[in-house]
């Protein structure tokens, strides 16, 4: 490589144009260039490329110069020192992002596109660039250009314009409110999503092509950056409701990058205000496959399928599941109809009482498995979701998940004692007990949440003296484990939370108050 680079640095124009093409062909897939660390080759090559770029008589090789710089800019080595303010302004000029006051028809070409790509790399790999750019007219020019997008605007230009805003707002968070509040950039981005949705509607397609889906994903990621730290109280309600209506339409589209598209929609749904969620369940038009009480639940059905797919992931469960479960917690909290529909899909009337709640491949089983997941973040999130589906009713939660699975959440919320508060939900019952459940109800173990055959008492055949001896032995074993710090016996305090005890004999005094009786379990 160093021989070719030496040649490029000292080339005449004709040879230079050929050699930089050779460089691109040979090293276009590289991300690091250790060979350039010696003899200041990196600095010399960088300056040579910008010398040709600044010469307007050499415009025929400008695109290749920018492509070569784009490849070099993947390597972070000395990038902050290499790029100068003058060079940043030069790239902005080539990308038509330098002067917001000049009203001109931009003729987009390969030079424009390559300049935008180079800017993306520089923003991502250079702290200097993503700090300097907000002090230039770049953001203002980008938003002005977005406002003028039309059907003739190349999709590639729209994509890299959006990516630049995404990268700046992600890496320099102080720009988020500038783009959103001062420049109203979110309105431009919402308009882009609206345009994609409208184009699909007009073409009467349900399969969105890859380029549109890729652009939509970039817009969704950028909107997430702008909304993630927003104060919902100051948001324009109509704008956000319109956004959720668009997200509803996008959720119904099929595409090759369906998982990416839906993941980005889910992330954005996390940060929109609660009072906008109603738009994701519009009135059903005529007979509808996913109609529920006159409303179109198609988008919620898609989200449930997305949840099911993420529950099947073998790796990074927290990263895969936290966003979609968070969205469902917000949806079922804000919209009663969504809660009722989701409950029918996840916790339908109980028929299978022969297996533990966590056994099987249903949504209920997969979620119940996570109630004992090592990560408290995911475990508590799933527990909260299921608890809301159960209308925050302890007995109902025990019925569907088993007391053993839900005990951790009950302890955290102070719901173990007799004075369990009830949440304010509608009195309309959603709990139809099936014949299968009613027949075996008395033999269902509330701890495991499933049917258990009657077992003989382990004390059967013992004399009273033997029973007393075994009880004292058990007390002694528990006391020894407690002193060694292996277990910590607790009693239930007045606040419904476990309280450590000093000696196991304290449990005997509190026994009547500590028991989680079947009467409480059965009363619904």
410 and 353, same domain (yes or no): yes
Tell me, yes or no, whether 160 lies in a domain.
no
Considering the chain, what is the average pLDDT of its residues? 87
Q: At what angle do helices 376-389 and 336-346 cross, to 10 degrees?
A: 110
Tell me the two tokens of residue 501. Answer: 């005890």
Tell me: pLDDT of 356 over 90: no
- Going by DSSP bridges, is the β-strand pair 444-445/295-296 parallel, antiparallel, or unpaired? unpaired
Residue 201 token pair: 């509607």
219-248 tens-digit pLDDT: 999 999 999 987 655 567 889 999 999 999
- Residue 370 CB contacts under 8 Å (≥ 6 apart), including other chains: 317, 321, 378, 379, 382
- Residue 295's SS3 state is strand
Q: What is the CA radius of gyration of the chain?
A: 31
Residues 261/250, Cβ–Cβ less than 8 Å:
yes
Q: What are phi and psi of 290, to 5 degrees?
A: -115, 35
Shared-domain flag, residues 427 and 405: yes
Q: Is residue 433 part of a domain?
A: yes
Max Cα-Cα span within the chain: 108
Domain presence at residue 501: yes
Q: What is the DSSP letter of 191?
A: H
Looking at residue 136, the DSSP 8-state letter turns out to be S
pLDDT in tens, 167-219: 999 999 999 999 999 999 999 999 999 999 999 888 888 889 999 999 999 99
Dist CA 142 CA 131 (whole Å): 17
Domain boundary among 395, 416, 451: 451
Q: Is the pLDDT of residue 521 over 60?
A: no
pLDDT exceeds cutoff 80 at 364 = yes
Please report whether residue 488 resides in a domain. yes
| Residue 383 · residue 376 · CB < 8 Å | no
Structure tokens at 147: 């406002």
403, 477: one domain: no
Does residue 360 sit in the same domain as residue 405? Answer: yes
Joined together, the tokens standing for residue 424 give: 């304010």
Residues 413 and 363 in one domain: yes
Average pLDDT score over residue span 446-467? 80
pLDDT of residue 503 exceeding 70, the answer is: no
Q: Quick one: average pLDDT of 343-350?
A: 91
The tokens 């997200």 sit on which residue? 247
Q: Quick one: pLDDT at residue 398? A: 86
Q: What is the pLDDT of residue 22?
A: 94
* pLDDT for the residue numbered 206: 83
User: Which residues, 6 or more positions from 201, have their beta carbon under 8 angstroms from its beta carbon?
Assistant: 249
pLDDT(520) > 50: no
CA dist., res. 403 & res. 409, Å (int) = 10
Is residue 196, in this structure, part of any structural domain at all? no
Tell me what pLDDT residue 411 has: 78
- Please give the pLDDT value at position 32: 93
Q: For residues 113 and 160, is the Cβ–Cβ distance under 8 A? A: yes
Are 364 and 357 a contacting pair, CB within 8 Å? yes
Q: So what's the pLDDT on residue 83?
A: 95
Long-range CB pairs of 278-284, under 8 A, 24+ apart, other chains included: 278/241, 278/334, 278/335, 279/241, 279/242, 279/244, 279/245, 279/248, 280/244, 280/247, 280/248, 280/251, 280/331, 280/338, 281/335, 281/337, 281/338, 282/245, 282/248
Task: Give the pair of three-digit tokens for residue 204.
Answer: 């009467």
Does a structural domain hold residue 261? no
Q: Kindly state whether residues 419 and 504 are assigned to the same domain.
A: no
d(C-alpha 346, C-alpha 363), whole Å:
6
Indicate whether 171 belongs to any domain: no
CA nearest neighbour of 42 among 1, 12, 14, 13: 1
Res 523: pLDDT: 39
Q: Are residues 493 and 441 in the same domain?
A: no
Residue whose C-alpha is closest to residue 64's, from 120, 104, 8, 102: 8
Per-residue burial over 30-47, b = 16 or more CB atoms within 10 Å of its CB, e = otherwise: eeebeebeeeebbebbbe
Give the global pTM: 0.86
- Give the C-alpha separation, 516 to 415, whole Å: 11
Q: Render pLDDT for 241-300 as a digit per residue (tens, 0 to 9).
A: 999 999 999 999 998 889 999 999 999 999 999 999 999 999 998 777 899 999 999 999
At residue 493, the pLDDT reads 76
Q: What is the DSSP letter of 235?
A: S
> What value does the mean pLDDT take over residues 504-523?
52
Q: Would you state the structure tokens that stand for residue 122, as one six-digit string?
A: 């520089």
Give pLDDT, residue 270. Answer: 96
Given a cut of 90, is residue 319 above it in pLDDT?
Answer: yes
Q: Report the pLDDT value the prediction gives residue 431, as an integer from 0 to 100.
A: 55
Are 342 and 352 contacting, i.e. CB atoms less than 8 angstroms apart? no
**Which of the listed residues 391, 424, 451 is the one where a domain comes to its end?**
451
Q: Which region holds residue 222: left if phi is over 0, alpha if psi is between -120 and 50, else beta?
A: alpha
Last residue of a domain, one of 401, 420, 451: 451
What pLDDT was estimated at residue 407?
Answer: 79
- Which tens digits make up the pLDDT trace of 405-425? 877 777 777 777 655 555 656
Q: Is the pLDDT of residue 510 over 70?
A: no
Q: What percent of the chain has pLDDT over 90?
A: 57
Same domain, 400 and 488: no
How many domains is the chain built from?
Answer: 2
pLDDT by residue (tens digit) across 32-88?
999 999 989 999 999 999 999 999 888 999 999 999 999 999 999 999 999 999 999
Instruction: Give the C-alpha separation, 64 to 76, whole Å.
Output: 21
10 Å CB burial of residue 465 (0-12, 13-18, 19+) is exposed
Six token digits for residue 343: 């409950």
d(CA 264, CA 255): 14
Does the pLDDT of residue 502 top 90, yes or no?
Answer: no
Distance CA(385)–CA(82), nearest Å, equals 51
Query: Could you tell me if residue 453 is left (phi over 0), alpha (psi between -120 and 50 degrees) or otherwise beta?
Result: beta
Q: Which helix (H) or strand (E) holds 445?
A: strand 444-445
Specify if 27 maps to a domain: no
Cα gap 145→162, rounded to integer Å:
11
What residues make up the domain containing 515?
464-522
Question: How many angstroms separate the CA atoms of 330 and 240, rounded?
Answer: 16
What's the mean pLDDT in 9-28? Answer: 89
Residue 355 and residue 411 share a domain = yes
Residue 471 and residue 441 in one domain: no
């Amino acid at each position: 490589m160093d021989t070719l680079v030496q040649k490029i640095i000292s080339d005449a124009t004709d040879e230079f144009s050929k050699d930089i093409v050779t460089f691109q062909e040979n090293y276009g897939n590289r991300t690091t260039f250790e060979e350039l660390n010696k003899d200041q080759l990196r600095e010399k090559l960088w300056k040579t490329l910008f010398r040709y770029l600044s010469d307007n008589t050499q415009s025929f090789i400008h695109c290749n110069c920018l492509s070569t710089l784009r490849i070099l800019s993947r390597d972070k080595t000395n990038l902050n020192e290499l790029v100068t303010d003058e060079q940043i302004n030069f790239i902005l000029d080539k990308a038509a992002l330098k002067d917001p006051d000049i009203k001109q028809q931009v003729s987009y070409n390969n030079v424009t596109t390559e300049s935008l790509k180079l800017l993306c790399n520089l923003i991502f790999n250079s702290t200097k660039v993503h700090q300097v750019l907000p002090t230039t007219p770049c953001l203002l020019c980008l938003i002005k250009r977005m406002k003028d997008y039309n059907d003739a605007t190349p999709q590639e230009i729209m994509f890299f314009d959006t990516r630049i805003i995404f990268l700046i707002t992600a890496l320099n968070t102080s720009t988020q409110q500038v783009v959103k509040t001062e420049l109203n950039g979110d309105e431009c981005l919402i308009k882009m999503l609206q345009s994609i949705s409208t184009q699909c509607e007009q073409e009467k397609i349900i399969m969105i092509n890859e380029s549109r889906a890729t652009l939509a994903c970039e817009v969704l990621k950028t909107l997430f950056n702008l909304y993630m730290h927003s104060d919902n109280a100051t948001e324009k309600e109509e704008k956000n409701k319109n956004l959720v209506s668009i997200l509803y339409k996008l959720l119904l589209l099929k595409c090759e990058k369906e998982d990416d598209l839906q993941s980005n929609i889910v992330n954005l749904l996390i940060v929109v205000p609660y009072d906008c969620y109603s738009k994701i369940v519009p009135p059903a038009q005529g007979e509808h496959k996913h109609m529920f009480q006159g409303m179109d639940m198609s988008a919620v059905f898609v989200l449930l399928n997305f949840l099911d797919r993420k529950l099947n992931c073998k790796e990074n469960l927290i990263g895969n599941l936290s966003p979609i479960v968070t969205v469902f917690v917000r949806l079922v909290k804000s919209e009663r109809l969504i809660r009722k529909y989701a409950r029918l899909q996840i916790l339908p009337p109980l028929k299978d009482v022969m297996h533990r709640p966590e056994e099987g491949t249903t949504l209920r089983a997969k979620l119940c498995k996570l109630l004992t997941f090592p990560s408290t973040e995911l475990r508590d999130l799933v527990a909260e979701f299921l608890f809301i589906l159960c209308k925050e009713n302890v007995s109902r939660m025990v019925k569907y998940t088993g007391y053993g699975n839900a005990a951790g959440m009950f302890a955290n919320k102070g719901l173990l004692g007799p004075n369990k508060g009830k949440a304010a939900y509608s009195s309309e019952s959603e709990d139809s007990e099936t014949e299968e459940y009613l027949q075996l109800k008395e033999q269902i173990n509330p701890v495991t949440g499933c049917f258990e055959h009657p077992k003989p008492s382990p004390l059967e055949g013992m004399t009273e003296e033997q029973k007393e001896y075994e009880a004292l032995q058990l007390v002694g074993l528990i006391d020894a484990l407690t002193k060694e710090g292996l277990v910590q016996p607790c009693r239930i305090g007045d606040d419904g939370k476990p309280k450590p005890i000093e000696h196991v004999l304290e449990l005997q005094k509190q026994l009547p108050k500590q028991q989680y009786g079947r009467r409480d379990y059965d009363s619904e």
